[in-house]
Amino acid sequence: MSVDVNSQSFNEDMIAEIKKIQDELNELKNLEVKISKKSTKKPAKKTAVEKKTVQRKPAKKTAVEKKTVQRKVVRKTSKSKKKSR
């Protein structure tokens, strides 16, 4: 009977140890969740350093080509040489 008592107490000790380890594991999981929630927050904005403004040279303006419109040639009509008088 002493063997049964020892094995039973051993089993109880192992079950207690397993529960203790499971509790620690749950605590670690909770910590991990809290840490991951904190990391999703945006970091504080850093003060912006004033940037030097670089003045650009104005673009060279190209001369716009004027469109030449060809005029229609007006045909001279010959006047009739007949005089009415």
Q: What is the pLDDT of residues 17-62, one digit of tens each?
A: 999 999 999 999 999 888 877 666 666 777 777 777 878 887 777 7
2: in domain: yes
28: in domain: yes
Q: Is the pLDDT of residue 85 over 90?
A: no
3: in domain: yes
Residue the block writes with tokens 């350093």: 49
Number of structural domains the chain divides into: 1
Domain assignment present for residue 51? The answer is no
pTM score: 0.39
What's the CA gap between 42 and 39, in Å, rounded? Answer: 8
> Which residue, chain included where needed, has tokens 């620690």?
24
Domain carrying residue 14: 1-39
Q: What's the N-to-C CA distance of the chain in angstroms?
A: 163
21: in domain? yes
Distances (CA, A) of 16 to 10, 11, 19, 22, 59: 10, 9, 5, 10, 82
